[in-house]
Amino acid sequence: MLAHKLVLRQAMREKGIPHTIVCNFFFHGFYLPRLGQAEATSAHTDGKVFISGDGNTKAIFVNEVDVAKYTIRSVDDPVTLNKVLKIKTWCVRADSPFPLNFQLAIAHSAFINGDQTNLEIDPVVGVEASVLYADLKYITVDEFLSNLV
């Protein structure tokens, strides 16, 4: 999947197509109700949760509304032109669900390796949304989870 993204990004750059790529991490609505359980098909009700790794690895969860707010704000912003806008706040198609092994690989990358939080953004090719648009209030994981109980 990442290889396809890289090919598309390279083609846009080579053709000179103006663009802003919005990159978020986990959606609140997809992962949090299932408590990060990649194999779950709905919210947990049995009171049991499997914690990947030692439970201390940080991950990034972004509310879908926040992704929309940052995306709309970036549309006419020259700072984001031809760059990647990374949404790192504290970020399924029903007819085509991800295969379980792919979901588990993403969960492993995030919760075991911490691959979401160890990224440096090169200012030549990217910008971090909450820094660029500091006036936008994003929905925290705690705020989202409080709506589930």
pLDDT tens track for 47-62: 666 666 676 767 777 8
Does residue 96 surpass a pLDDT of 50? no
pLDDT for residue 16:
92
Q: What Cα–Cα distance (Å) separates residue 50 from each residue in 4, 46, 135, 146?
A: 31, 12, 36, 20
Which of residues 34 and 93 earns the better pLDDT score? 34
Tell me if 11 is assigned to some domain: no
Task: Please give the sequence-ordered ranges of beta strands (E in DSSP) within 31-80, or none if there are none.
Answer: 61-62
Tell me if 109 is assigned to some domain: yes
Percent of the chain with pLDDT over 70: 61
Tell me if 98 is assigned to some domain: yes
Positions annotated as catalytic residues are 5
Does residue 119 surpass a pLDDT of 90? no
**Which tokens in the block code for residue 47?**
């009171």
Residue 120's contacts (CB-CB under 8 Å, 6 or more residues apart) are none
State how many domains the chain has. Answer: 1
Tell me if 96 is assigned to some domain: yes
Q: Other C-beta atoms within 10 Å of 119: how many? A: 15
Rounded mean pLDDT, 71-80:
89
pLDDT for residue 52:
66
Mean pLDDT of all residues in the chain? Answer: 73
Tell me if 49 is assigned to some domain: no
pTM of the model as a whole: 0.53
Domain, as residue range, for 105: 20-42+56-146
* Tokens 């700072």, located at residue: 79
Query: How far apart are alpha carbons 85 and 66 in whole angstroms?
Result: 13
pLDDT for residue 14:
92
Categorize the per-residue pLDDT at 4 as very low, low, confident or very high, splitting at 50, 70 and 90: confident
Query: How far apart are alpha carbons 115 and 69 in whole angstroms?
Result: 25
Tell me if 79 is assigned to some domain: yes
* Tokens 């691959």, located at residue: 115
Tell me if 114 is assigned to some domain: yes
Tell me if 14 is assigned to some domain: no
Does residue 17 surpass a pLDDT of 80? yes
Q: Where does residue 114 fall: left (phi above 0), alpha (psi -120 to 50 degrees), or beta otherwise? A: left
Query: How far apart are alpha carbons 90 and 139 in whole angstroms?
Result: 8
